[in-house]
Structure 1
Amino acid sequence: MTFAEAEAVIDEDGHGEAEDNPDGLARVYVSPEIEGWTLVIGPWCDPCSSERSDEVLRLCIALSSRYGMAQAYYFGTQNDGSAWLIAEHGVVVRRYCETGEVDDGFLTLGQPLVQEQAERERMGLPPTWHENARNDESEEEWKWRAFDMAPEIATALGISPLALTASMRVSGIGVLAETPVPAR
């Protein structure tokens, strides 16, 4: 399956438009290897999902133990926010969610990434902050900026599906895969 075909299917799934997949969690796209990375794309991988965040965290820890690094991202292309989860060698380096949900702050783990700190300094904000200051007026500008940062973080730390080019090294084929069915 091509990336373009998968994007259409995953988009349909993610918006609950598929009759046989109303929660959008039944399928993911597993890319061919791109520049040494394998991308798994779909709502099932969302690191800030209220239903899946713990499982995505466990999967990233396990995958990073095996492969050295694993990352999960959420990016709402309709101003729905961003989230990133970075694990290295079995340890969570950072999980950060800025989606406008009340529980976003409770999901934060680890220290701000270099990219977060640099952007905050560029904005005239302290490079580090405390989650209890999330409702402080001076942090409001940061929240809006962080809403769009997942693709930038992904590009800086690996590869973003929004930044793929024809010149990238690709090996293998992409497949649409069914995810494990949760017990109900």
Structure 2
Amino acid sequence: METLEWTGGIDACWNYWMCVPTTDRAGVLSALGLELLRRSSFDEAGEIINALAHEHDETISLVFVTPPIDGWTAVIGPWCDAFNARRAPDARALVERLSVAFGEAHAFYFGSQNDGNGWMIARDGETVRLCADQSAVTPIGESLPIELEWLTRLGLEPPVADLDDDDNFEFFYECSALAVARAISVDTVWGLPATAPRGDGVLAARSDDETARRWSTPDD
């Protein structure tokens, strides 16, 4: 079996991203109601997204949209938070809208300090799986194959929602959002494919979000 090589991506301590199975970046922006602000590299965008994450204001619509990565386009930033109670309804609606346009779309959350994991899968406008270790998130759908694989490895019985606290911690530690993202789309935090482009991404935001525009303005 071929050994995959992975490289780091954008680690913002609290990481939120969406993945869409398309190379049509303009179509993704249109479906999300965003406009392109300017081009950006992963390195520059990493600094901006990390600062936004520490701002703890997921209403700021500034995101980094990657170049195509193995046929996927990722959208990264706190605005993509499909798991926080305040932002989740709007973010989940956007993921479902993307799935109408492109057949399927995913959303993920990964806390780099062992403070949370979550994943959402929508197909044809409907959420078919929602799973997270946050108590406020009500699970939707059946376990994914990657979830069942890790449950079996750990000697645990599905569903994930019925695990006790100790087993729940062990499961989400091993079957993290990163592991799920690598299995079904793209891990933009710690596991980008080594062949992933490192430049030619873009920053984008809602046209009426002046705060996002200020955040995206390069320092002189």
TM superposition score normalised by structure 2: 0.68
Equivalent residue pairs, number: 166
- Among 149, 153, 157, the alignment partner of 1:126 is 157
Measured against aligned partners, the alpha-carbon deviations of 1:59-101 in whole angstroms (never above 9, x if no partner) come to 11111111111111000111111100111222212111114xx
What does residue 57 of structure 2 align with? 23
Moved over 6 A (4+): none
- Among 109, 121, 124, the alignment partner of 1:89 is 124
Deviation of residue 123 (structure 1)? 0.9
Q: What CA distance in whole angstroms lies between the structure 2 residues aligned with 1:166 and 1:121?
A: 29
What does residue 80 of structure 1 align with? 115
What does residue 98 of structure 2 align with? 63
What does residue 22 of structure 2 align with? none
- Compare 145-154 and 29-38 and name the one that shifted more: 145-154
- Among 172, 187, 195, the alignment partner of 1:167 is 195
Measured against aligned partners, the alpha-carbon deviations of 1:122-168 in whole angstroms (never above 9, x if no partner) come to 11111325x3x45x3xx522334314610111110011112224423
- Compare 35-44 and 147-156 and name the one that shifted more: 147-156
**Preserved CA contact (<8 Å) 1:81 1:147:** no
Instruction: Please state whether the residue corresponding to 2:118 is helix, strand or coil.
Output: strand
- Compare 22-31 and 146-155 and name the one that shifted more: 22-31
Amino acid at match of 1:163: G
Q: What CA distance in whole angstroms lies between the structure 1 residues aligned with 2:143 and 2:193?
A: 29
Measured against aligned partners, the alpha-carbon deviations of 1:95-129 in whole angstroms (never above 9, x if no partner) come to 11114xx313x2x1111111111111111111325
Instruction: Please state whether the residue corresponding to 1:50 is helix, strand or coil.
Output: coil
What does residue 148 of structure 2 align with? 117
Q: What CA distance in whole angstroms lies between the structure 2 residues aligned with 1:55 and 1:25?
A: 10
Q: What CA distance in whole angstroms lies between the structure 1 residues aligned with 2:133 and 2:79?
A: 18
Residue 9 of structure 1 pairs with residue 36 of structure 2:
no
Q: What CA distance in whole angstroms lies between the structure 2 residues aligned with 1:85 and 1:147?
A: 17
Q: Which has the higher contact order (CA 8 A, sep 6+)?
A: 2
**Preserved CA contact (<8 Å) 1:33 1:171:** no
What does residue 155 of structure 1 align with? 182
Q: What CA distance in whole angstroms lies between the structure 2 residues aligned with 1:55 and 1:35?
A: 27
Instruction: Please state whether the residue corresponding to 1:75 is helix, strand or coil.
Output: strand
Amino acid at match of 1:7: G
What does residue 9 of structure 2 align with? none
**Preserved CA contact (<8 Å) 1:118 1:127:** no
* 1:43–1:76 CA distance, 2 compared to 1 (3 A): same
What does residue 43 of structure 1 align with? 78
Instruction: Output the aligned Cα RMSD.
Output: 2.2
What is the identity percentage for the equivalent residue pairs of Structure 1 and Structure 2? Answer: 35
Amino acid at match of 2:57: D
